[in-house]
């Protein structure tokens, strides 16, 4: 015999006020919101100089900001002047070593193939990004270079941090062109 279930009140829809509450905490992405805001500020600098608004921050193992970068391709006439590459170069220069072991790269847009290769070569422990790049992304969208098992170094990936804000900045930039 089956035991009878206790009587329950019928389920009611939540009031509209409850639906407007803040999203539930995200223990994976929430710790990276502050650094991503810093990367967004870098991205704004790129936009002001006519470059695609992508910003990056390299954090040391202790969370200290080691270096920042934003796209400077137009400003410098350099096709490799992506935010990630510039931030990684500056972090390596500051540490006096090319190995950025223990460091985290935070960037507003999913890295391209060049930048994904640079972050693998720099040995960062983690890459955190905001918006997906369906046209050129190499960290999960088109390719997944950083998690290729054939490589000797595969950083942790955290995607989607402040994704809406990162995407909106890019959308505004390209609509204004």
Q: Would you please indicate which residues are annotated as catalytic (active-site) residues?
A: 84
State how beta strands 126-131 and 156-159 pair. Answer: parallel
* DSSP string for residues in 136-167: T-TBTTS-BGGG-TTSS---EEEE-TTHHHHH
Q: Which two tokens stand for residue 94?
A: 């500051």
**The pair of three-digit structure tokens given for residue 128, joined into one six-digit string:** 């955190």
Helix (H) / strand (E) containing 5: none
CB atoms within 10 A of CB 39: 30
Cα–Cα distance for residue pair 163/109, rounded to 1 Å: 9
Query: First and final CA of the chain: distance in angstroms?
Result: 71
User: What secondary structure letter does DSSP report for 144?
Assistant: B
Structure tokens, 102? 């223990």
H or E element in which residue 49 lies: none
């Amino acid at each position: 015999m089956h035991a009878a279930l206790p009587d329950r009140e019928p389920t009611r829809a939540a009031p509209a006020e409850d639906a407007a509450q803040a999203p539930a905490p995200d223990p994976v992405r929430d710790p990276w919101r502050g650094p991503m805001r810093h990367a967004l500020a870098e991205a704004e600098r790129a936009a002001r100089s006519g470059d695609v608004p992508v910003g990056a921050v390299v954090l040391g193992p202790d969370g200290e900001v080691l270096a920042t970068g934003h796209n400077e391709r137009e400003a410098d006439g350099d096709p490799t002047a992506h935010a990630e590459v510039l931030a990684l170069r500056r972090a390596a220069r500051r540490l006096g070593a090319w190995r950025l072991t223990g460091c985290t790269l935070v960037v507003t847009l999913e890295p391209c193939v060049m930048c994904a290769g640079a972050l693998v070569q720099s040995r960062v422990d983690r890459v955190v990004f905001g918006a997906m790049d369906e046209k050129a992304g190499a960290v999960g969208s088109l390719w997944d270079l950083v998690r290729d098992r054939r490589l000797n170094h595969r950083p942790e990936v955290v995607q989607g941090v402040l994704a809406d804000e990162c995407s909106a900045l890019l959308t505004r930039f390209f609509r204004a062109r």
